[in-house]
């Protein structure tokens, strides 16, 4: 039995009640087989896989808070500190009723490799609670956040563990948590990222994921002898990632012609009007029908369908499992050259396989949407220096990071004989960096 299979068996036994975590470990270790098989003796002797699949530590705690009716509510809080071989733990806080230990472990495990890919010194962690922010008043949100941080503050710190936002945790929640940390610890430090600009947040964080996606896509095209100029791009989603991906695509001379939300999609052959899209989605918080109504040549369709439009590049930026096998077939038939994921896991496994087998350059979200977490790490750097960098400075750093990420995964894939498999390349590049640091630091 190979070392990977031996470890998978042990991990399955130890974590039988955590299906999401088991799936993540299986997928990552499977894709790492080329590098693990090539170094089996060294890794086995040092129990690298046993150590990397076991969190450094995990905290679970009670979060009591009082609702608007004076009733005490109790939620469960989590923080999993998975691996800090290359830097302080870093990863978001998810507030959603579905949250449990297995899900937080799955996300924390993936975060190790994603963070390593950014080229910046950040380890992997994740946290959250089964608290549901939907329908809660601002006062209830504050009560929850303060109680959550009252316990969490014992385990985090600017050089220890730096949480960020995730589903359910936006600027408002980060603000309440930061205030409570400061109050209890008496320390003004960069203990959270995603902060407001007046108290330590970073410029470009809002644009970072969408812009970063385009910087990486541009480099991918360039290395295949293509430019962005004049390319037609299909984008899905109409949220933070999609809006700034479309904006940057236009700045690069390409034309993004689609966007979508959870009820329908728009095809605008003249190119999506970003200012109008922002007005509809960010200001009015309305449906895309309003966008189509304001643009003479735009068509609105109910349901899903952006991938049937002929394009050179496809950028799924909405949600998980939104690019299916049938969509992949349509994209290939239409001559699409590249698919880069702005969202997390938007492409199903069979669709990914079909795209790769049919010569489409495919870069998964772990690398392609890493601009967001990379800019959070730049926020940490600015906080440590007690300086704020200009928009241009942060943007230039982001661009440089995304170009480097592309080359790191391309090189890793080539070194292990899977040239052009950027998914394997991403896992290998992140893994190699973490393992090198673990080996250097001895048994810990």
List the catalytic residues: 126
Is 150 or 369 the residue whose CB approaches ligand NDP more closely?
Answer: 369
Is 67 or 132 the residue whose CB approaches ligand NDP more closely?
Answer: 132
322 counts as binding ligand NDP under rule CB under 6 A: yes
Q: How far apart are CA 213 and CA 156, in angstroms?
A: 30
Question: Binding residue for ligand NDP (CB under 6 A) from 84, 240, 347, 408?
Answer: 240
Is 36 or 363 the residue whose CB approaches ligand NDP more closely?
Answer: 363
201 counts as binding ligand NDP under rule CB under 6 A: no
Name the segment binding ligand NDP (CB under 6 A); options: 53-61, 118-126, 316-324, 383-391: 316-324
Strands of 89-95's sheet, edge to edge?
Answer: 57-66, 72-83, 123-129, 89-95, 161-164
367 counts as binding ligand NDP under rule CB under 6 A: no
DSSP H/E element including 163: strand 161-164
Is 88 or 212 the residue whose CB approaches ligand NDP more closely?
Answer: 212
**CB 210 within 8 Å of CB 240:** yes
113: how many CB neighbours lie within 10 A of its CB? 25
Q: How far is the CB of 210 from ligand NDP (least distance, A)?
A: 8
Name the segment binding ligand NDP (CB under 6 A); options: 72-80, 239-247, 353-361, 415-423: 239-247
**For the purposes of burial, counting CB atoms within 10 Å of the CB of 135, is it exposed (0-12), middle (13-18) or buried (19 or more)?**
exposed
3-state helix, strand, coil in the chain (%, to 5): 50, 15, 35
383 counts as binding ligand NDP under rule CB under 6 A: no
Name the segment binding ligand NDP (CB under 6 A); options: 71-79, 256-264, 390-398, 412-420: 256-264
**CB 303 within 8 Å of CB 326:** no
128 counts as binding ligand NDP under rule CB under 6 A: no
Q: How far is the CB of 369 from ligand NDP (least distance, A)?
A: 4
Where are the extended beta strands (E) located within 232-340? 232-236, 255-256, 258-260, 264-267, 299-302, 313-316, 338-340
Is 98 or 227 the residue whose CB approaches ligand NDP more closely?
Answer: 98
Q: How far apart are CA 229 and CA 200, in angstroms?
A: 36
Which residues are registered as beta bridge partners of 128? Answer: 78, 94
Q: How far is the CB of 129 from ligand NDP (least distance, A)?
A: 18
Question: Binding residue for ligand NDP (CB under 6 A) from 133, 201, 239, 430?
Answer: 239
Is 162 or 318 the residue whose CB approaches ligand NDP more closely?
Answer: 318
Question: Binding residue for ligand NDP (CB under 6 A) from 209, 382, 408, 427?
Answer: 209
343 counts as binding ligand NDP under rule CB under 6 A: yes
Q: How far is CA 244 from CA 159, 341, 343, 401, in A?
A: 31, 14, 13, 17
Question: Binding residue for ligand NDP (CB under 6 A) from 169, 260, 356, 382?
Answer: 260
Decide: helix, strand or coil at residue 258. strand
Q: How far is the CB of 194 from ligand NDP (least distance, A)?
A: 9
Strands of 258-260's sheet, edge to edge?
Answer: 258-260, 264-267, 299-302
Tokens for 24, please give them. Answer: 């993540």
319 counts as binding ligand NDP under rule CB under 6 A: yes
Tokens for 297, please give them. Answer: 């040549």
Segment 12-41, which members bind ligand NDP (CB under 6 A)? none
Name the segment binding ligand NDP (CB under 6 A); options: 26-34, 36-44, 341-349, 407-415: 341-349
Name the segment binding ligand NDP (CB under 6 A); options: 115-123, 311-319, 330-338, 424-432: 311-319
Size of the residue set binding ligand NDP (CB under 6 A) = 21
Q: Long-range contacts of range 407-414, CB-CB < 8 Å, 24 or more positions apart?
A: 407/219, 408/117, 408/119, 409/117, 409/363, 409/367, 410/223
139: how many CB neighbours lie within 10 A of its CB? 11
Decide: helix, strand or coil at residue 126. strand
**CB 101 within 8 Å of CB 419:** no
262 counts as binding ligand NDP under rule CB under 6 A: yes
Closest CA to 173 of 263, 268, 95: 95
237 counts as binding ligand NDP under rule CB under 6 A: yes
Question: Binding residue for ligand NDP (CB under 6 A) from 123, 190, 372, 430?
Answer: 372
238 counts as binding ligand NDP under rule CB under 6 A: yes
Tokens for 416, please give them. Answer: 């292990």
Closest CA to 7 of 65, 46, 60: 46
Decide: helix, strand or coil at residue 419. coil
Question: Binding residue for ligand NDP (CB under 6 A) from 11, 156, 274, 318?
Answer: 318
214 counts as binding ligand NDP under rule CB under 6 A: no
**Binding residues for ligand NDP, per CB under 6 A?**
209, 236-242, 260-262, 304, 317-319, 322, 342-344, 369, 372
């Amino acid at each position: 039995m190979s070392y990977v299979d031996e470890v998978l068996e042990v991990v399955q036994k130890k974590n039988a009640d955590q299906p999401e975590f088991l799936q993540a470990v299986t997928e990552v270790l499977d894709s790492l087989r080329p590098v693990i098989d090539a170094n089996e003796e060294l890794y086995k002797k040092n129990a690298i896989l046993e150590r990397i699949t076991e969190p450094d530590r995990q905290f679970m705690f009670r979060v009591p808070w009082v609702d608007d009716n004076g009733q005490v509510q109790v939620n469960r809080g989590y923080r999993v500190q998975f691996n800090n071989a290359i830097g302080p733990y870093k990863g978001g806080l998810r507030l959603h009723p579905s949250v449990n230990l297995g899900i937080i472990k799955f996300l924390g495990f993936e975060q190790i490799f994603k963070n390593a890919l950014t080229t910046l010194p950040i380890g992997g962690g994740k946290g959250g609670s089964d608290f549901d922010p939907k329908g809660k008043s601002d006062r209830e949100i504050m009560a929850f956040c303060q109680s959550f941080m009252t316990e969490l503050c014992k385990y985090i710190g600017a050089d220890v563990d730096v949480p960020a936002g995730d589903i359910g945790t936006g600027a408002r929640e980060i603000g309440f948590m930061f205030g409570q940390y400061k109050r209890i610890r008496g320390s003004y430090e960069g203990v959270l990222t995603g902060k407001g600009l007046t108290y330590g947040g970073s410029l470009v964080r809002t644009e970072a994921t969408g812009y970063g996606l385009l910087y990486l896509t541009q480099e991918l095209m360039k290395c295949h002898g293509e430019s962005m100029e004049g390319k037609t791009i299909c984008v899905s989603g109409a949220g933070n990632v999609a809006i700034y991906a479309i904006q940057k695509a236009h700045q690069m001379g390409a034309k993004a012609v689609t966007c979508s939300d959870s009820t329908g999609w728009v095809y605008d052959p003249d190119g999506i009007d970003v200012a109008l899209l922002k007005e509809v989605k960010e200001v009015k918080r309305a449906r895309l029908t309003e966008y189509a109504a304001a643009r003479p040549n735009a068509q609105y369709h109910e349901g899903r369908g952006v991938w049937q439009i002929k394009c050179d590049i496809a950028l799924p930026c909405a949600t998980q499992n939104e690019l299916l096998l049938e969509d992949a077939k349509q994209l290939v038939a239409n001559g699409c050259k590249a698919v880069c994921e702005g969202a997390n896991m938007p492409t199903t496994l069979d669709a990914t396989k079909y795209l790769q087998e049919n010569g489409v350059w495919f870069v998964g979200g772990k690398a392609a949407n890493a601009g967001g977490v990379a800019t959070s790490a730049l926020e940490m750097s600015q906080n440590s220096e007690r300086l704020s960098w200009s928009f241009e400075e942060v943007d230039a750093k982001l661009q440089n990071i995304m170009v480097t990420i592309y080359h790191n995964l391309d090189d890793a894939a080539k070194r292990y004989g899977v040239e052009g498999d950027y998914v394997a390349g991403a896992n290998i590049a992140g893994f190699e960096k973490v393992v090198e640091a673990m080996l250097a630091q001895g048994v810990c």
